[in-house]
Structure 1
Amino acid sequence: MANYNSVTEKVIEEIKASVSGRVFVGEEINIDFFHDEMPIYGEGQPEVLVDATNAEEVAKIVKICNENLIPVIPRGAGTGLTGAGVARHGGVMINMQSMNKILEYDEENMVVKVEPGVLLNDLAEDCLSKGYMYPPDPGEKFATLGGNVATNAGGMRAVKYGTTRNYVRSMEVVLPTGEITTFGATVSKTSTGYSLKDLMIGSEGTLGIITELTLKIIPAPKETISLIVPYEDLDSCISTVPELFKHNLNPQAIEFMEKEIVNLSEIYIGKSTFPRELEGIEIGAYLLITFDGEDEDQLNDIIEQAAEVLLEAGAIDVLVADTPNKIKEAWAARSSFLEAIESQTKLLDECDVVVPINKIAKYVNYVNEKAKGYDFEVKSFGHAGDGNLHIYTCSNEMDREEFVKQVDEFMHDIYGKAYEFGGQISGEHGIGFGKKVFLNKFEGDVNTELMRGIKKVFDPNNILNPNKVI
């Protein structure tokens, strides 16, 4: 790790002279910028916080910091879950939230150009108002698009439409040297050298700072239907998922959840939608499935086929939500899982491990069995269609030091099992600060050294979001 310099009065004055946005110093900086949504990975106070308003300002700030060997941390809405957007070494934090304009739609090429501080929710709604859809659908709707791209956020529609990576056509980037460049183009295919654009996607602000994005959009589907599918146990619930793909039913989203997390969430939102018991059978797990299509007849045919497959595979019933209000109610509990856990938990850690879909049930059962040997509780849910699981360790009673020690041992175990099953550490949240040790251990020295080499080429002075990812 480099020996960084502190921010001097001279540097502060240089930054102030370079930007039109506000510059906050020391105690002027709001404490919300000291951490992200997973404070178990620690806090850090930037020495300076700058509200950037355009790429040229970002470039000037970065150039000043690079010349003075001062860390720079790009920051979106702060909704990350790995400690990636935290100033662990002081330095200058650039707040990208002021760069929040939807710049233009190119309807002939089906793309939209945006600044990185645009919120996912704002783009999603704006697209729908024009008859389009921006398919990436991460759970946190009020994250910035720049942050989504920086973590390659996935979300619930990834099973049909892919992750954020699949929708980035091009980007304007400020490099750690202060140079401004463009990666990618408004084209749907390319074999033009190494894909620098794809290196940036998922790099968590360690290789460059995104200042503009050109994103692919698609025509919005005309009809949507969701199904709540209850099962007696998790095994029969998860084992259904491959059957849906075998029958070419192409769902937009497939989420699985055990009854405990559903109960917790419904208490939190004050509304009950998921049945607890059917036909005298106590429900142990659920699938929540959404299909979309061009018309009602097409969807009805799909639902009929899906119901047949689901019931044959062990579903107790298939409950249809076929109006906007019913669909909203069906997804309300799922959308509130994290908030429900946070509201009732003092100590919290999580992983978003990803495994092949045919190993989900076996993996979750392994996790639940291993959890019995620890003092914390485990709550699990996830994207059944792509094998991305969210496993939360929770405690209200444990001492923090003991919690961290036990969770670290538990995480080493379950990450090891994920790799044994052909999986990886993160499906969508990234590595950040909190998961670095696991990346090195499970990806191995060869892969880690390649990543270090890439970091060095982009950022020879290691000023950009240092001590993250690798």
Structure 2
Amino acid sequence: MKYHKINEEDITNLRSFISDSDRFITKPTKHWDHDQFKTTHAMPDLVIQPVTNKEVEQIVKYANDHKIPIVPRGNSTGLMGANLTVEGGISLDMVKMNKVLEYDPNSLTMTVQAGIRLKDIEEYLQNKPFTYMPAPAMHWATIGGNVATNAGGLKAVKYGVTREHIRQLKVVLTNGKLYKFGAQAVKSSSGYSVKDLIIGSEGTLGVITEVTLRLYPRPRKSINAIIPYPTLDDAIKSVPAILASGVVPTTVEFMGRKVIDLWEKYANDTFPIRTGNGFIIVGIDAFTDDELKAELKHALDAVKPFKAQKAVVLGADSPEAKKIWGCREALLLAIQKSTPKMDEVDICVPINHIPDVLDRVDQLETEVGMRIPNFGHAGDGNLHIYLCSDDMSDAEYAKKSNKVISELYKTAKALDGNMSGEHGIGYARENNFESFYGKDYTNLLRKIKNLFDPNNILNPDKIFPLEDK
């Protein structure tokens, strides 16, 4: 599709919508041309940092009327290029829309602007009796970005992913109007849920400006059990038994000694547990000590047949627990630091099929000749699988990566899984989408995209190609 190239007249007109010149950036720097992986670079022609809904309305309408591509951007922690301005145009940088608009404990909700970071939400609620449960590892990600990708995080086993915690959204559509989707009310059986359509749409249907979050009473007690196993395979095979035991853990994470070794080099630190080569981290929260002890006993009894070694049980606020969770949350950065280039697949499969995926990863490491470290959310079947370039040439890395990605998507599809559990499709994987989900389904999504964005100016070239190939 041919887009209008921003000219001096557009600059003048768009500048009139923004009161502060420092939020209108006509000469973007490299800060705006990449995401967390830095594998693809695309420089916007213009960066605008709105602070009000009105500014967003005016900018989006102008872009639509003049067929200028516009890409919402959070804190750029994404991995699939969803925030890249691959067609040029406007990068709508939302990070200055970062206010808490309302904290309402009586309705168990909190309303924030889309550019606020998770860590800022956590700090705001730190001394309050309620908390926002989703816990993606990237604490400096914005809530708008989390909503746009339906981020999962570490507590999805018990509390669900981002979608389950969003009561209401305010979204600017391409006609320049601000819409309210959802409500503070808990239930709705009232027509189509457009709110849930926007969640996970990666900025392709509208620009999210405000988010009303569901809050939970903060659990009074929490505990972690780190269970070592002789192998990672032993660890993974124990997970269905934990979930079938009657325990509803907050988290069930897996990681192996190989990625822990990378973290030790990255952090210049030592992992507290020296035995075992595969680990399951089980987090449990409750309101009484008796509940905690009962659930922990059930979980530890369930894993005994799987060669589980002696669990290390830690209070959630203990220094050792904080170090272990710090390790888990920094694994992506540790792997990234270990190699010149890196790509990722975050397929999601039924939990009983995680061993099948990891077996295929081991096979591909040998078949292709590539290091493929991994870890993930054992309790919900979401695996984070990383493709490392190491000493390969760019051409060799591209060829081998395409092979691995293709094979892992074949594996996920055969197991009735999904392409992505939480990182999204973005720009990096749009050409894989139709082959995974089929033409009929993709054409249905194209019709939805065309209804919301007939000029295809909102984050073009993301999720799936607009044209039927």
- Structure 2 length-normalised TM: 0.96
* Counterpart-to-counterpart distance in 2, 1:36 and 1:211: 21
Aligned to 1:356: 350
Deviations 1:363-388 (A, max 9, x none): 11111112211232100100000000
Aligned to 2:36: 37
Match 1:304 to one of 297, 320, 324: 297
* Counterpart-to-counterpart distance in 2, 1:438 and 1:232: 36
The count of residues paired between Structure 1 and Structure 2 equals 462
* Counterpart-to-counterpart distance in 2, 1:330 and 1:394: 24
* Counterpart-to-counterpart distance in 2, 1:245 and 1:254: 9
* Counterpart-to-counterpart distance in 2, 1:333 and 1:45: 33
Instruction: Report the alpha carbon displacement of residue 269 of structure 1 after superposing the two structures with TM.
Output: 1.6
Matched to 2:206, the amino acid is G
Instruction: Report the alpha carbon displacement of residue 289 of structure 1 after superposing the two structures with TM.
Output: 1.2
Matched to 2:4, the amino acid is N
Q: Does 1:293 align with 2:286?
A: yes
8 Å Cα contact 2:224-2:316 kept in structure 1: no
* Counterpart-to-counterpart distance in 2, 1:47 and 1:172: 27
Aligned to 1:158: 156
Instruction: Report the alpha carbon displacement of residue 125 of structure 1 after superposing the two structures with TM.
Output: 2.5
* Counterpart-to-counterpart distance in 1, 2:186 and 2:145: 23
Instruction: Report the alpha carbon displacement of residue 327 of structure 1 after superposing the two structures with TM.
Output: 1.9
8 Å Cα contact 2:272-2:320 kept in structure 1: no
SS at match of 1:359: helix
- Give RMSD over aligned pairs: 1.2
Range with bigger deviation, 101-110 or 457-466? 101-110
Q: Does 1:8 align with 2:7?
A: yes
Instruction: Report the alpha carbon displacement of residue 55 of structure 1 after superposing the two structures with TM.
Output: 0.9
SS at match of 1:372: helix
* Counterpart-to-counterpart distance in 2, 1:128 and 1:162: 21
Match 2:360 to one of 363, 366, 369: 366
Please list every run of 5 or more consecutive structure 2 residues that lacks an aligned counterpart in the other structure: 465-469
* Counterpart-to-counterpart distance in 2, 1:415 and 1:343: 25
Deviations 1:364-423 (A, max 9, x none): 111111221123210010000000000001022111122112111111111111110111
Instruction: Report the alpha carbon displacement of residue 348 of structure 1 after superposing the two structures with TM.
Output: 0.5
Aligned to 1:385: 379
SS at match of 1:341: helix
Matched to 2:209, the amino acid is T
Matched to 2:300, the amino acid is A
Aligned to 2:241: 243
Aligned to 2:178: 180
Deviations 1:313-342 (A, max 9, x none): 320111111251232122111111011111
Q: Does 1:17 align with 2:16?
A: yes
8 Å Cα contact 2:246-2:298 kept in structure 1: no
Match 2:110 to one of 109, 112, 121: 112
Q: Does 1:257 align with 2:264?
A: no
Instruction: Report the alpha carbon displacement of residue 211 of structure 1 after superposing the two structures with TM.
Output: 0.7
Deviations 1:197-237 (A, max 9, x none): 01100000000000111110000101111111111112221
- Structure 1 length-normalised TM: 0.96
Going from structure 1 to structure 2, the CA distance change for 1:323 and 1:99 (only over 3 Å counts) comes to closer
Range with bigger deviation, 191-200 or 325-334? 325-334
Matched to 1:178, the amino acid is G
Range with bigger deviation, 294-303 or 165-174? 294-303
Q: List aligned pairs for 1:338-357, cutoff 5 A.
A: 338-357=332-351
8 Å Cα contact 2:23-2:50 kept in structure 1: no
SS at match of 1:373: helix
Instruction: Report the alpha carbon displacement of residue 274 of structure 1 after superposing the two structures with TM.
Output: 4.3
Please list every run of 5 or more consecutive structure 1 residues that lacks an aligned counterpart in the other structure: 278-282
> Alignment identity in percent?
38
* Counterpart-to-counterpart distance in 1, 2:316 and 2:139: 22
Range with bigger deviation, 328-337 or 425-434? 328-337
Matched to 2:15, the amino acid is K
* Counterpart-to-counterpart distance in 1, 2:30 and 2:421: 29
Instruction: Report the alpha carbon displacement of residue 435 of structure 1 after superposing the two structures with TM.
Output: 0.9
8 Å Cα contact 1:375-1:398 kept in structure 2: no
Matched to 1:467, the amino acid is D
Instruction: Report the alpha carbon displacement of residue 20 of structure 1 after superposing the two structures with TM.
Output: 2.0
8 Å Cα contact 1:321-1:330 kept in structure 2: no
SS at match of 2:270: coil
* Counterpart-to-counterpart distance in 2, 1:191 and 1:286: 42
